[in-house]
């Protein structure tokens, strides 16, 4: 199977705080499948580490009040380009991220409050017909 994954799940230090979300299930998948890693926020031109961001009323804003929507959407478009070229059977993403979250994301208030809805990359990929799941739903 060909699988696209959030790069932080594969152990890449691309998370906003310079760390990663290394996940054993993803590492196992990498042993027996073709895995493509993407980090839409880095691909959109944002540095690592970076100020965390959330989606508020459809616009991505950083915690210090900057509009980073363009960078997030550029990264999402680049992921879509890769998906169209590589045609992954499945896309496994980091939950609750403003880019990668599939089912939920933070609500834009920076209070740790979750809301229904995907991050901008997951949303774009799903709108274009790609099957995306949060890594925590991988075994279901």
- Residue numbers at the binding site for ligand SF4 (CB under 6 A): 6-8, 14-15, 39-41, 94, 97, 99-100
Nearest distance in Å: CB 16, ligand SF4: 7
Nearest distance in Å: CB 82, ligand SF4: 13
Closest to ligand SF4 by CB, 13 vs 33, is 13
Nearest distance in Å: CB 61, ligand SF4: 15
Q: How many Å apart are CA 137 and CA 124, to the nearest integer? A: 19
Closest to ligand SF4 by CB, 41 vs 123, is 41
Q: What angle do CA 109, 110, 114 make, to 5 degrees?
A: 75
Closest to ligand SF4 by CB, 7 vs 29, is 7
Element (H, E) at 54: strand 53-56
Q: How many Å apart are CA 14 and CA 20, to the nearest integer? A: 6
Q: 């994301």: which residue's tokens? A: 105
Q: CA torsion, points 89, 94, 100, 103, in degrees to nearest 10?
A: 90
Nearest distance in Å: CB 93, ligand SF4: 7
Closest to ligand SF4 by CB, 52 vs 56, is 52
| Helix, strand, coil abundance in the chain, percent, nearest 5 | 35, 25, 45
């Amino acid at each position: 199977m060909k699988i696209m994954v959030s790069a932080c799940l594969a152990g890449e230090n691309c998370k906003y705080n310079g760390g990663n979300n290394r996940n054993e299930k993803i590492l196992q998948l990498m042993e027996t499948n073709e895995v493509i890693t993407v980090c839409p926020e880095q691909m959109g031109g944002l540095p690592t580490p970076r100020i965390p961001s959330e989606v508020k009323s459809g616009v991505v804003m950083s915690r210090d009040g900057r509009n980073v929507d363009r960078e997030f959407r550029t990264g999402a478009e680049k992921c879509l380009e890769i998906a169209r070229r590589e045609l992954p059977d499945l896309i496994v993403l980091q939950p609750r991220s403003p880019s990668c979250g599939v089912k939920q994301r933070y609500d834009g208030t920076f209070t740790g409050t979750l809301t229904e809805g995907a991050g901008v990359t997951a949303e774009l990929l799903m709108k274009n017909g790609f099957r995306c799941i949060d890594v925590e739903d991988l075994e279901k």
